[in-house]
Amino acid sequence: MKEFKAESKRLLDLMINSIYTNKEIFLRELISNCSDAIDKRRFLSLTDAKAAADFCINISVDKENRLLTIEDNGCGMTDEDMEKNLSTIAKSGTLEFKKEHKNDENLIGQFGVGFYSAFMVADSVNVISRAYGSDKAFKWTSAGAEGYEIEESARADAGTTVILHIKENDDDCRYDEFLEAYKISELIKKYSDYIRYPIKTDVPTTKKKQDGDGYETVTEHKTVNSMTPIWKKPKGKVKKEEYDDFYTATFHDYMPPLKQIFASLEGSVSYNTLLFIPSKAPIEYTSKDYKKGLKLYSDGVMIMEKCDELIPDYLGFIRGLVDSGDLSLNISREILQHNRQLKTIAVSLEKKIISEFKKMLASEKERVLYEKMFDEFGVSLKMGAYENFGEKKDTIKDILIFRSSDGHKYTTLSEYVKRMKDGQEFIYYACGDDFEQIEKMPQCEAVLEKGYEVLLLSDRIDEFVIKVLESYDSKKFKSVADKDALPVSEEKEKEVTEKSEQYKELLGAVKDALKGKVKEVRLTSRLKNHAACIAADGYVSLEMEKVLKDMPTGGPAAKAEKVLELNPDHAVFSRLCDAKDDKQKLSDYATVLYDTAMLSEGMEIEDAAAFAALVQKLI
């Protein structure tokens, strides 16, 4: 017997001891594997007539021996395939990542339960398979987490037979149900109705007796599913639960989608599409293991599992399928990449999705769904606006939402602009880690006091996006930290210029005391309650400095050119004036002012212990 790899073993353990309430989904998982396998063989049959067969999935029960058998005539597996596909988890690494995860139900879902879900209802599983084109068959056997065996076996034709030995009933579950013909038909209808190949099983039916005297129950082996792909059924005829079931089964998600999007196009290229916005990002979403793409069908026949070209990166979280009768079936993947029809579909899909997003934003009912989606995937959309020097910014700017000082609610840029006050020149924004802290920043307070709304940016990418967008509806974006964020009266400006001249020497001395930490020390008229603030001259803002510092660039990260701005009307400023002849005192004051101003901006100070000691000394 061979042992499972540690991760597979853990997942198996989880399945075997699962308290997952929805155990019945194992059947849909196994059936969808059969369907995938038949898809593969059918695809081969397009260029190899011998691969063609009367494709179908057969399910049978043997109550006495507690066996449930699921059989297909798909592509089958070699012994190597069995080793690779049934004995190790494909998404390696994810289980490690989720070690701390206590919630069974979530964990099972995160994996896309797959083949191992058989162990939720079976205490042992046999898989007999013969790969198409091979004359050898193999049998994979496992009775759980201890391990598995693969040995030579026999099978008349290519395909796979999965035999489950169903568990005995216990307090949690009546496993006997899975040996009832009526239950099996019910599950097929419920979860696998849209599968495009006939799923045949024994169906008990009540019929009039041959001799016409009364009724009898006869068992017929017949096709149970309707076989119409769900996306080809009239929209009004399909219930939301059916779409949800289709989504969870097809895309291995444990949560129903937030929303589905339909589209079809008739024209030079025609297609149908059924897209889903997931409720939650899969755990591998932000890692390089995540592969975007939509399933591609040619008139109901799947030709590609994940067609990357159909969807731009920034919409890579969307799942779904495209079915087009205009695509040639035996097109090779290389040719597909340069396929013009495919490009046409991709362009039209992107437009459709964006317009659907805009509709959601405008609809009272769907706005909350959009905001939920943005919480999960907003960063992707923002990346889309930022990438390639903002190539797509005009397409994306209207589907971006930002939190605002107006109750911390989400707002679109167009909504912000509509609310702008008379005389307000800019769209204001401020960056930081949390909203309350941002609003307390001296410069932000000044703008808020004017009654202007401020966008509160707490995502690291936000400011980069704003810089790329530059303006919206000809209103420029302005950081509250910019020195010209608020217009200053001529009178005030004159006063500051005069004072700056008057205190030139003092300002120079403060700058020297800060030993190169700031590029300049200047007076400002924009502060009211605060004695000092830090501004940044040049392209790199304080917030960007923080982000860049954490990026693994190798070399030293770009720094903001800092300016210490002092409020000449503040009591602290007169203390500074008093200290101008005491070099040590001036240096102490300058340092405390600088450090406290940095803290108000949410920046780190260089030497916290020295700062604490200095404050205590001054007290």
Contact region with ligand ADP (CB under 6 A), list: 69-77, 212-220, 286-294, 362-370: 69-77
For 100, the 3-state DSSP assignment is coil
For residue 606, CA distances in Å to 323, 335, 534 come to: 59, 57, 15
For 619, the 3-state DSSP assignment is coil
Given the complex with ligand ADP, which of 95 and 507 has the nearer CB atom? 95
Of 300, 284, 8, 35, nearest to 159 by C-alpha is: 35
Query: Which residue in the shown chain puts its C-beta closest to ligand ADP?
Result: 114
229 contacts 196 by C-beta, under 8 angstroms: yes
Pattern 145-174, ligand ADP, x by CB under 6 A = ---------------x--------------
**How far apart are CB 434 and ligand ADP at their closest, in Å?**
39
- Segment 200-259, which members bind ligand ADP (CB under 6 A)? 252
For residue 113, CA distances in Å to 34, 245, 306, 394, 547 come to: 15, 14, 19, 40, 38
CA distance 93 to 110: 13
CA distance 88 to 90: 6
Given the complex with ligand ADP, which of 118 and 506 has the nearer CB atom? 118
613 contacts 588 by C-beta, under 8 angstroms: no
Given the complex with ligand ADP, which of 195 and 576 has the nearer CB atom? 195
Q: What residues are paired with 163 via a beta bridge?
A: 69, 126
Does residue number 112 form part of the binding site for ligand ADP (CB under 6 A)? yes
Given the complex with ligand ADP, which of 72 and 193 has the nearer CB atom? 72
From 27, 77, 521, 586, residue interacting with ligand ADP (rule: CB under 6 A): 77
Does residue number 74 form part of the binding site for ligand ADP (CB under 6 A)? yes
Given the complex with ligand ADP, which of 250 and 272 has the nearer CB atom? 250
Q: Strand 122-130 relative to strand 159-166: parallel, antiparallel, unpaired? A: antiparallel
Does residue number 85 form part of the binding site for ligand ADP (CB under 6 A)? yes
Does residue number 114 form part of the binding site for ligand ADP (CB under 6 A)? yes
Does residue number 282 form part of the binding site for ligand ADP (CB under 6 A)? no
Given the complex with ligand ADP, which of 76 and 257 has the nearer CB atom? 76
CA distance 457 to 427: 13
For residue 390, CA distances in Å to 12, 191, 255, 376, 381 come to: 46, 43, 34, 22, 12
**How far apart are CB 224 and ligand ADP at their closest, in Å?**
18
**How far apart are CB 20 and ligand ADP at their closest, in Å?**
16
Given the complex with ligand ADP, which of 88 and 337 has the nearer CB atom? 88
452: left (phi over 0), alpha (psi -120 to 50) or beta: beta
**How far apart are CB 33 and ligand ADP at their closest, in Å?**
3
Contact region with ligand ADP (CB under 6 A), list: 67-75, 164-172, 426-434, 564-572: 67-75
Given the complex with ligand ADP, which of 77 and 533 has the nearer CB atom? 77
Given the complex with ligand ADP, which of 160 and 225 has the nearer CB atom? 160
Given the complex with ligand ADP, which of 72 and 462 has the nearer CB atom? 72
Given the complex with ligand ADP, which of 37 and 513 has the nearer CB atom? 37
Residues 566, 570, 574, 579, Cα dihedral to 10°: -50
Given the complex with ligand ADP, which of 58 and 404 has the nearer CB atom? 58
Does residue number 438 form part of the binding site for ligand ADP (CB under 6 A)? no
Query: How many residues bind to ligand ADP according to rule CB under 6 A?
Result: 16
**How far apart are CB 280 and ligand ADP at their closest, in Å?**
18
From 98, 115, 424, 496, residue interacting with ligand ADP (rule: CB under 6 A): 115
Does residue number 71 form part of the binding site for ligand ADP (CB under 6 A)? no
- DSSP codes joined into one string, 77-88: --HHHIIIIISS
CA atoms within 13 A on the CB side of 548: 15
Contact region with ligand ADP (CB under 6 A), list: 68-76, 150-158, 487-495, 591-599: 68-76
**How far apart are CB 93 and ligand ADP at their closest, in Å?**
16
Of 476, 483, 579, 560, nearest to 527 by C-alpha is: 483
For residue 487, CA distances in Å to 416, 499, 523, 525 come to: 20, 19, 16, 10
For residue 267, CA distances in Å to 270, 275, 518 come to: 6, 20, 63
Q: Which two tokens stand for residue 115?
A: 């083949």
Does residue number 15 form part of the binding site for ligand ADP (CB under 6 A)? no
Contact region with ligand ADP (CB under 6 A), list: 111-119, 291-299, 398-406, 515-523: 111-119
**How far apart are CB 37 and ligand ADP at their closest, in Å?**
3
Q: What residues are paired with 431 via a beta bridge?
A: 457
**How far apart are CB 329 and ligand ADP at their closest, in Å?**
21
Of 101, 108, 98, 97, nearest to 19 by C-alpha is: 108
- Segment 25-64, which members bind ligand ADP (CB under 6 A)? 29, 33-34, 37
**How far apart are CB 44 and ligand ADP at their closest, in Å?**
13
Q: What residues are paired with 401 via a beta bridge?
A: 412
Q: How far is CA 78 from the centre of its chain?
A: 35
Of 3, 2, 6, 1, nearest to 89 by C-alpha is: 6
Q: How many other CB atoms are there within 10 angstroms of residue 214's CB atom?
A: 7
Tokens 């013969």 locate to 130
Contact region with ligand ADP (CB under 6 A), list: 2-10, 112-120, 232-240, 484-492: 112-120
Q: Which helix (H) or strand (E) holds 377?
A: helix 364-390
CA distance 519 to 522: 10
Does residue number 86 form part of the binding site for ligand ADP (CB under 6 A)? yes
Contact region with ligand ADP (CB under 6 A), list: 9-17, 72-80, 201-209, 365-373: 72-80
Q: Which residues bind ligand ADP (CB under 6 A)?
A: 29, 33-34, 37, 72, 74-77, 85-86, 112, 114-115, 160, 252
